[in-house]
Amino acid sequence: MLAALLGASACYSGDSANADGSAGTTTAAATGDEPGTTAPTTTSDSDGDEPEAPQIVPGPTLRRLTASEFAHAMQDLLGPVDLGAVEADSLQEGFFAVGAARVALSPAGVAKYEQAIGDATAQAFADPARVAQILRCVPTQLADTACMRDALATFGRRAWRRPLTGVELERYLGVATAVGTETGDVVVGLRHAVWALLQAPHFLYRVELGQPSPDDGGRLRFTSYEMASRLAFTLWNTLPDEALLDAAEADLLVDGPGVGEQAARMLADPRARQGVHNFIAELYGLWALGEKVKDDTLFPQWTPTLKAVMRDELLARVEDVVFDQPADFFSLYDGQKVFVNNELAAIYGLDPVEPDVFRAATLPEDSPRRGLIGSALVLAMNSLPARTSATERGQFIAESLLCRTVPPPPPNVDTNLDDPDVEDPGPQTLREKLEPHRADPSCSGCHNITDPLGLALEHFDTVGRWRATDQGLTIDASGELDGEYFADGGELAQLLREHPVVANCLVRKLYTYAGGRLPLWPENDTIAEVEDELALAGNRFDKLLLALVTHDDFRFAHPAGTVVGEDPEGDKP
């Protein structure tokens, strides 16, 4: 019935987003730790090398809400609801946010949204008190069209991040009236109109396309309402609030100072923690933890509750540095402050804590476990079911912290570390088992990037516990990072904190996440400028967010087909 009233489902893929609610090019992405999310597809990180030729800009694109954005937005609009599964997410260039700008929604995905949103609205509208919170005005009869119109206009403005046009409002009022007439219940009619509004592309997609700005070199300037959307999803991972929409209505979000005032307010709001959580979850791949399995005969302590507290602990470390202190973000890389319950205290070799307590603790000064790479989550998530993986751990360090590209393995690669030509080699450490791979030309390209870094963490087993030996043999955890020697993972953590590229890498990752695309090479200047702002602010992450969202590159876009990177003097190739 609903599709017939609207003419067609509002969330199909097409060429552009239209004012009447028909859809445009669509995308799929999500954080895989949210309800209703299935395992993502992935592509490998691209490198940041500058090409030798100018680049042609594809122009702004529609980005479908990630599963995390969708879940938070639905909760903001309807209150707590159980959400059904939506289309599987796509992880590209290390981020769901990038997949959101690239992957089209399938017809089956359209049906999943219709079902999930229909079920959610049915739950919410079953409670009269909840209905009164959702709709500013709740009519008692169909004749009260003024109340119906006010309810839909208010809800639509919040859901679509902009006011509905007169044509749009009348369209959804028509849905409410038709269903209300058929059922004899005006609230049921409004529920169907809300159901329809939430299937429209202006809810399911981030419609941030900009408008021509002749005074700004032909660039596209994002409107105030589009900036409200960009700010809210970047800083809060959810919809704009009324204050932000009011600022957009007053057209206060078209310049840096106006954006900065709202961004500062938003960063002081508790929802900023939710926004930072989502960036960290994408940056460090926390979505993968839920599906990580271990051999339960060897590691019986690997339980769902331990996995959950590992995730909570890493996010607590981030919150402590970003919001509670606040402090230098890179202190995360070599700090010794941890957060534990009894299960995690056992992993870290600390004294037990009181039951049902999750609290801060400090590792001993001489502990070889330091920082992010010594966290139980990073160690366990980048290991195999029965043993550690220097390759996975090294890849995490190389890609997530240093922005280095690890090439994909060759097709049909043999991942068995046992030498088939040796019948019984006897006990071997992982370092010894990996030596043939590092010597093999078909494998060395990857393994020479990852293994020296990952082997630094060999003193920690597959669930993150300290161990003195591997197969009863002494572990050699030493290595070099860009010519700097380290004896073990603790010393590597200290080198990482001081490494000259970690700040640039963090800014580059945040730029990619916020923009939903890899930076173009001329935008390296922007990244350098924001990196300078970060350094001046003592490497505080909240100041990094503020510097990014107030920068011109966050407020403007180039039209599709624009050539960037050309040298008018002809000096560049």
pLDDT digits (tens, 9 = 90+) for 216-256: 778 899 999 999 999 999 999 999 999 999 999 999 999 99
* pLDDT at residue 521 in the model: 84
Show the domain range for 29: 2-206
245 & 319 share domain: no
At residue 40, does pLDDT exceed 50? Answer: no
Residue type, 268: A
* pLDDT at residue 411 in the model: 74
Q: Are 57 and 203 in contact (CB under 8 A)?
A: no
Cβ burial of 428 (10 Å; 0-12, 13-18, 19+) is middle
At residue 484, does pLDDT exceed 70? Answer: yes
48 — pLDDT class (breaks 50, 70, 90): very low
- Please write the tens of the pLDDT for every residue from 355-405: 889 999 999 999 999 999 999 999 999 999 999 999 999 999 999 999 999
Minimal CA–CA distance to 464: which of 348, 384, 299, 362?
Answer: 348
Does the residue 510 lie in any domain?
A: no
At residue 41, does pLDDT exceed 50? Answer: no
Minimal CA–CA distance to 19: which of 191, 195, 257, 209?
Answer: 209
Domain count along the chain: 3
Residue 17 CA, distance from chain mean position: 24
Does the residue 116 lie in any domain?
A: yes
260 & 296 share domain: no
At residue 352, does pLDDT exceed 90? Answer: yes
* pLDDT at residue 35 in the model: 29
3-state secondary structure of 85: coil
Does the residue 143 lie in any domain?
A: yes
Q: Which of 498, 515, 550 is the last residue of a domain?
A: 498
98 & 231 share domain: no
Does the residue 134 lie in any domain?
A: yes
255 & 303 share domain: no
Helix (H) or strand (E) holding 482, with range, is none
Does the residue 553 lie in any domain?
A: no
The Cα–Cα gap between 229 and 10 comes to: 20
16 — pLDDT class (breaks 50, 70, 90): very low
198 & 346 share domain: no
For 434-544, strand residue ranges (E) read 469-470, 473-474, 479-481, 484-486
251 & 293 share domain: no
Helix (H) or strand (E) holding 445, with range, is helix 441-454
Does the residue 424 lie in any domain?
A: no
172 & 232 share domain: no
The CB density around residue 513, as the number of other CB atoms within 10 Å, is 21
User: Residue 38 corresponds to which tokens in the numbers above?
Assistant: 């299935």
Minimal CA–CA distance to 158: which of 239, 43, 67, 248?
Answer: 239
pTM above 0.85, yes or no: yes
- Please write the tens of the pLDDT for every residue from 330-339: 999 999 999 9
Q: Which of 149, 177, 206 is the last residue of a domain?
A: 206
> Mean of the pLDDT values across residues 98-118?
95
3-state secondary structure of 121: helix
The Cα–Cα gap between 44 and 514 comes to: 19
Q: Which of 498, 525, 547 is the last residue of a domain?
A: 498
Residue with tokens 């003097």: 569
3-state secondary structure of 485: strand
At residue 568, does pLDDT exceed 70? Answer: no
The CB density around residue 352, as the number of other CB atoms within 10 Å, is 12
* pLDDT at residue 213 in the model: 84
Residue with tokens 């990037």: 449
6 & 114 share domain: yes
At residue 31, does pLDDT exceed 70? Answer: no
Identify which has the larger pLDDT, 38 or 175. Answer: 175
347 & 491 share domain: yes
DSSP letter for 288, please.
G
409 — pLDDT class (breaks 50, 70, 90): confident
User: Residue 435 corresponds to which tokens in the numbers above?
Assistant: 């030596």
- Core vs surface per residue 385-401: b (16+ CB within 10 A) or e: eebbbbbebbbbbbbbb
At residue 569, does pLDDT exceed 50? Answer: no
At residue 51, does pLDDT exceed 70? Answer: no
* pLDDT at residue 408 in the model: 84
Helix (H) or strand (E) holding 63, with range, is strand 63-64
Among 133-137, 220-224, 406-410, 477-481, which stretch is predicted with the lowest mean pLDDT?
406-410
348 & 368 share domain: yes
The Cα–Cα gap between 387 and 19 comes to: 55
User: Residue 149 corresponds to which tokens in the numbers above?
Assistant: 């119109």
492 & 454 share domain: yes
At residue 441, does pLDDT exceed 50? Answer: yes
Does the residue 238 lie in any domain?
A: yes
* pLDDT at residue 564 in the model: 73
* pLDDT at residue 413 in the model: 64
* pLDDT at residue 424 in the model: 65
- Best mean pLDDT range from 6-10, 560-564, 568-572: 560-564
Per the prediction, the chain carries an average pLDDT of 88
401 & 314 share domain: yes
436 — pLDDT class (breaks 50, 70, 90): confident
- Please write the tens of the pLDDT for every residue from 532-543: 999 999 999 999
> Mean of the pLDDT values across residues 178-204?
98
The Cα–Cα gap between 282 and 280 comes to: 5
* pLDDT at residue 10 in the model: 42
At residue 567, does pLDDT exceed 80? Answer: no
Identify which has the larger pLDDT, 3 or 116. Answer: 116
At residue 42, does pLDDT exceed 80? Answer: no
